[in-house]
Amino acid sequence: MFQTPRPLSRAGVIVLAAALGAMLAPTDAQAASIIITRPPSGPGITPVAGDPVYRYSFQAYLNPGYEVRLFDSITIEGLLGVNGSSPTNQPQSPDGGLPTNTGWLANKQVTGTDVWPAGSPAPTVDVSSVKFTFAPDDVVPPDTAISNVGPSLVNLGLFTIDTYADLPDLGPGFSFTFRYVVRAHLLDGTPDTYIGAVTLSTAGAVPEPASVFMLGLGAAAPALGVIRRRRRRRRATA
């Protein structure tokens, strides 16, 4: 059997280690205020009734050094089979450790139509974005926030969205990748916008090894890349 010369093997190890270090380094471009993943207990796309109605489930985590202030938001885009009549479920106080009299409000907006990837013939369905906004449901102090001073992730809870109609069975191992946009703040009050991607699947899908590795580390850089923008607060004029 052909063997790689020892010096080349060492060089390969060094290059691999450097690549992994660069991938996992907590660079500014990769830091996310809020991480969106599939639920730890399921694949993320589950039938709940009928032929069936499908439920998309997303788990959200707040990274150390960030906070969710009133009217910050999480938006999931490109949700196939979702429209204004789709049921949603999101954390509300006192559940999930939310501040008193606060919760997440859902706003659904149809952005187009597309063909459902199953059925004969496959139906054309609405495609929507769903925006979850952290908001008061009663009088609260204006500085109310969910803060993470570290060092661990703060679980923001489970967010679910159902399709609006019975749709043909997707079968096992089918997956969708969704773009998401989160708007939050640094602990010093600087507004922060983060754009990423999350993949959900039906039961039977085998996660890619890299995805499992990154999720285990609590890392937030999605495979499709990250766009991050920071907007510093304007200083008050004298």
> What pLDDT score was predicted for residue 129?
98
CA distances 67 to 4, 33, 34, 180, Å, are: 50, 8, 9, 18
pLDDT in tens, 87-114: 999 998 877 678 889 999 999 999 999 9
Q: Per the domain annotation, does 23 fall within a domain?
A: no
> How far is residue 111's CA from residue 131's CA, in Å, rounded to a whole number?
13
Range of the domain at 41: 30-230
Alpha carbon distance 126, 139 (integer Å): 36
DSSP states of 108-147 as a string?
A: EEEEEEEE-SSSSSPPEEEEEEEEEEEEESS---TT-EEE
Burial 160-191 (b: 16+ CB within 10 A, else e): bbbbbbebeebeeebebebbbbbbbbbeeeeb
Residue 206 domain-assigned (yes or no): yes
For residues 186 and 228, which has the higher predicted lDDT (pLDDT)? 186
In a domain, 101, yes or no: yes
pLDDT, averaged across the chain: 78
Q: What is the pLDDT of residues 155-214, one digit of tens each?
A: 999 999 999 999 999 999 899 999 999 999 999 999 999 999 999 999 874 554 434 433
Q: Decide the pairing of beta strands 66-69 and 175-186.
A: antiparallel
> So what's the pLDDT on residue 203?
87
pTM for the model = 0.75
Within-domain flag for 37: yes
pLDDT score recorded for residue 206: 53
- Six-digit token pair at 27? 């660079």
Whether residue 205 lies inside any domain: the answer is yes
> Quick one: tokens of 60?
């959200």
User: Residue 29 CA to chain centroid, in angstroms?
Assistant: 17
**How far is Cα 149 from Cα 163, in angstroms, rounded to an integer?**
37
Angle at CA of residue 106, ends 100 and 111, nearest 5°: 160
pLDDT tens digits along 126-164: 999 999 999 998 888 888 999 999 899 999 999 999 999
pLDDT (0 to 100) of residue 17: 36
Answer yes or no: is 20 within a domain: no
The tens digit of pLDDT for each residue in 13-45 reads 333 333 333 333 333 334 799 999 999 988 899
**For the chain, what is the domain count?**
1
Is 15 contained in some domain? Answer: no
* Confidence at residue 52, expressed as pLDDT on a 0 to 100 scale: 84
Q: Is 71 within 8 Å of 146 (Cβ atoms)?
A: no
Looking at the predicted structure, is the pLDDT value of residue 12 above 60?
no
108-137 as b/e: b if 16+ CB within 10 A:
beeeeeeebeeeeeeeebbbbbbbbbbebe
Question: Is residue 145 assigned to a domain?
Answer: yes
CB-based contact 37:159 (threshold 8 Å): no
What's phi and psi for 128, nearest 5 deg? -135, 160
